[in-house]
Structure 1
């Protein structure tokens, strides 16, 4: 039987989320807390478990391995099982043949779900709006799996977003696709390093614009150290 730690790990990986990212989003006291749960050294308390469920978009029953009422056999199914156990081998063969034929017929009538294709892409675990330097030159990316979309194919890397300065277009914790380029057009959204600070902003006239009206534009001067790290193409879908 799977442990709760293994179920947490599977749900986390399904979200393309690192251990320290999950720890931060649930407000864990230590970044290593998730690791201790996943290897079975400890278990999260009830409040923390609910936070994990919310962040990973799973139910507590799923993490605890509890079968839901829908998964349990109904009284009619239990009765049929008892009847099946009573009949002889000849009868069981006949029942099996009918069940297989009806299962195949029902399966064939179901609409086919489109297959979701995925691809790997570089991921810089270095949030825009924080940090120093040109991270593309100093940081080593890891690889994550994303849905194979037009944006994913055009992008060169993915970066997480920190803060609310670009709401409602982008939210804290979002991951965005970025196409590498040294400059972008006015009105485009890009990743910029200005005097050592990394930002996701819309390019304006000699300034960087936040979509959240609570933030003033960042003025750009000839004396500033400015890097354009690429154009933002869109948000990575879970």
Structure 2
């Protein structure tokens, strides 16, 4: 197996974190995504691939913060610029969510759109299936959105990633997960647009 393949890198990350395949399967299963030890073995041999949610859990278990640097082929890992990645996850922030200096600087390649100004992490499952807990979303900084666009907002002191919708007489912040009711923005509420999600 090519030592630079996704499966080989996945196996190396597991060994570096000090886990065996059985322990990994148990962790992923307990996280809510049932998997057997044989599946972990197949991922590492390159026979099959983990789902996006399983990969998020693997990265959490292995303490991997930069998926591209960890798993992408060498030609895709070349950093072309740096971007701020804010530490406060959207959906649980404060008024200083994206205004302060509480961010890490990350290097990104051309897999991230040149229109991106910063990144934030998703918290919770309200934007599934498109965005999952722990995923980084990349944002173009702008102060207005068109109806139907997904953005990052400050609403009454908390940070959110939602779809912006104009309906007769009001604005709503809509989750992609149908289990969550829209947030109806009332007159007098504080709503600020930080930007549009572009990836």
TM category, shorter: 0.5 to 0.7
Q: Which has the higher contact order (CA 8 A, sep 6+)?
A: 2
Q: CA deviation at 1:185?
A: 0.8
2:177 — aligned with what? Answer: 212
Between structures 1 and 2, the one with greater strand share:
2
Unaligned runs of 5+ in 1: 1-9, 13-37, 60-112
SS at match of 2:143: coil
CA distance in 1, matches of 2:189, 2:61: 46
Q: CA deviation at 1:57?
A: 9.3
Between structures 1 and 2, the one with greater helix share:
1
Asked whether the equivalents of residues 134 and 227 of structure 1 are also in contact (C-alpha less than 8 Å), the reply is no
CA distance in 2, matches of 1:173, 1:164: 9
Q: Structure 1 pair 184/49, CA: closer, same or farther in 2 (3 Å)?
A: same
CA distance in 1, matches of 2:178, 2:13: 36
In the superposition, the TM-score normalised over structure 1's length comes to 0.52
2:36 — aligned with what? Answer: none
Which of 109, 131, 145 does residue 170 from structure 1 map onto?
131
Over alpha carbons, which structure has the higher Rg? 1
1:156-180 Cα shifts (integer Å, max 9, x gaps): 0010000111111111111010010
Instruction: Note the aligned Cα RMSD (angstroms).
Output: 3.4
CA distance in 1, matches of 2:176, 2:126: 6
Asked whether the equivalents of residues 134 and 193 of structure 1 are also in contact (C-alpha less than 8 Å), the reply is no
